[in-house]
């Protein structure tokens, strides 16, 4: 029996409120993370991802308290990311109530961190987020919330992430983020074919058909979205019934 496909709302949090942008910029407010998290948990989301998009040292304490508040209101798995650079940060997030942590820039800077997290806490805790953009010379991974390009190619880095022990990959296509024209299905299908760990697709959801396509064409294991859920354009219950009718295995 194939695993059910997962629908995952994402809360991008900046200064204590949920925000959403287009191509990683032009952020606008989308509400209180604690209320949104609870609403999604109650609405039948399979998991919740919570990213502190401007994680800075000063904001750590506030962020940790926020994670605890969100976790207290959830009955679904909860992944937290943003500013996680070492094992002590992972420990803090798990202690605050996260089930998994998402690492991105820190893993690119020091890939051994993936092995350390997997070894200490288990692969299932270690989600590696990859923000990549299709540039003139191919797909490249970006650091610092999409601000800084690296010379790492998307597929090459995805392979290394898997080899080093990550439990899953959260791939965001920066070209597709917030544009609502569909996910990067072609690239997702390549990743899915070449890797054995689950791939969470992010960036591009605008209508129900996009979720269908990311599962049927992109072969993703999970689809993450933000604005279509935050601004009430698509309800999780409606989406899941639609996907079920399209022959996709989801938990209702």
CA distance 215 to 243: 10
CA distance 124 to 117: 10
Query: 42 an active-site residue?
Result: no
| Closest residue by Cα to residue 186 from 154, 164, 159 | 154
Active-site annotation holder among 46, 131, 213, 221: 131
Three-state DSSP class for residue 89: helix
CA distance 130 to 102: 10
CA distance 227 to 206: 8
Query: 15 an active-site residue?
Result: no
DSSP 151-194: EEEHHHHHHHHHHTT-SEEEEEETTTTTT-S---HHHHHHHHHH
Query: Counting Cβ atoms within 10 Å, is residue 252 exposed (0-12), middle (13-18) or buried (19+)?
Result: exposed
H/E run at residue 36: helix 33-43
Active-site annotation holder among 12, 32, 213, 221: 12
DSSP character for 83? S
Q: How far apart are the first and last CA of the chain?
A: 16
Q: Which residues are catalytic?
A: 12, 131
């Amino acid at each position: 029996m194939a695993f059910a496909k997962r629908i995952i709302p994402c809360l991008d949090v900046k200064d204590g409120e949920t925000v959403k942008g287009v191509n990683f910029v032009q952020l606008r407010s989308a509400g209180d993370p604690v209320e949104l998290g609870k609403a999604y948990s109650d609405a039948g989301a399979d998991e919740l991802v919570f990213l502190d998009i401007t994680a800075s040292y000063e904001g750590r304490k506030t962020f940790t308290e926020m994670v605890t508040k969100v976790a207290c209101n959830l009955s679904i798995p909860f992944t937290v990311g943003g500013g996680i650079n070492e094992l002590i940060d992972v420990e803090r997030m798990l202690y605050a109530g996260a089930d998994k942590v998402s690492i991105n820039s820190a893993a690119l800077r020091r890939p051994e961190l993936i092995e350390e997290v997997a070894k200490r806490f288990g692969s299932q805790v270690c989600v590696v987020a990859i923000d990549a953009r299709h540039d003139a010379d191919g797909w490249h991974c970006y650091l610092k919330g999409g601000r800084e390009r690296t010379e790492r190619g998307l597929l090459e880095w995805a392979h290394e992430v898997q080899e080093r022990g990550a439990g899953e990959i959260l791939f965001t296509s920066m070209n597709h983020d917030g544009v609502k024209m569909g996910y990067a299905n072609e690239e997702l299908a390549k990743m899915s074919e070449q890797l054995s760990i689950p791939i969470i697709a992010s960036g591009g959801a605008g209508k129900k058909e996009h979720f269908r396509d990311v599962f049927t064409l992109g072969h993703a294991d999970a689809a993450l979205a933000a604005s279509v859920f935050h601004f009430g354009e698509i309800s999780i219950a409606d989406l899941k019934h639609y996907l079920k009718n399209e022959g996709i295995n989801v938990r209702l």
